[in-house]
Amino acid sequence: MAVGTADRIAAAARTIVLDEGADRVSMRRVAAAVGITPMAIYRHFSDRDALLRAVAEQGWVELTDRWGRGEPRDNPRAELRRTLNGLLDFALEQPKLYTLLHDHRGGRSGGDFRSDESPVLNAVAAAVDEGMHRGLFAPDEVAEVALSIAALMHGLISMQHAGRLGLSDAEFRVLCGTAMTRLLHGVGA
């Protein structure tokens, strides 16, 4: 199957994002990489933001595809662990794309946290909700618990990406696991 021009444009923009970050994506650079004029991009994407949204949407697909692999989905704790490990793997393997997914306005990451637009929050909330129904987690507001979990992970990932933690990836994974265990078990005496 032939790759269309829009796909080639998005792929070139994605390469720039992966290598240098979203702020380095320009219509001129993308056009040069594809071998077209900058104006030709506008036949496929209305502006730079639309192009970055397309790159982000593909990133969300890649991230959520990671959650489709692995053990059966009959254990809410394992499902939550798989979701968070997939998020962590993605963030460590493709830090600049992860940043685009979480910082770019529009796409699936936009909207209020209760709007069902975030694949991460949706996956975490589904596992939390099932865990509450099965008595594995204490009854609580599902959306707020999911937000707490996602915010903890995103905060830690952002600090690691900024070099503020000074940890190797292996050490960082241990920190994330320990922090999540503390959150789920509480820190009370």
- Model confidence pLDDT, tens digit, residues 170-181: 999 999 999 999
Query: Could you give the CA distance from residue 118 to residue 109 in angstroms, rounded to a whole number?
Result: 5
Report which of 57, 54, 72 is spatially closest to residue 6, judged by C-alpha positions.
54
- Model confidence pLDDT, tens digit, residues 12-64: 999 999 999 999 999 999 999 999 999 999 999 999 999 999 999 999 999 88
Query: Could you give the CA distance from residue 90 to residue 95 in angstroms, rounded to a whole number?
Result: 8
pLDDT of residue 77: 87
pLDDT value at 113 more than 70: no
Question: What average pLDDT does range 136-140 have in this prediction?
Answer: 91
R_g of the chain, CA atoms, integer Å: 19
pLDDT value at 107 more than 90: no
Structure tokens at 175: 């920190």
Structure tokens at 117: 């637009």
Q: Which fold has domain 5-45?
A: Arc Repressor Mutant, subunit A (1.10.10)
Answer whether 142's CB lies under 8 Å from 128's CB: yes
Token pair 């702020």 is found at: 23
- DSSP letters along 88-138, please? HHHHHHSHHHHHHHHHSSSGGG-S-TTSS--HHHHHHHHHHHHHHHTTSS-
- How far the first Cα of the chain sits from its last, in Å, is 61
Q: Which fold has domain 56-185?
A: Tetracycline Repressor; domain 2 (1.10.357)
Model pTM?
Answer: 0.85
Domain boundaries, the chain: 5-45, 56-185
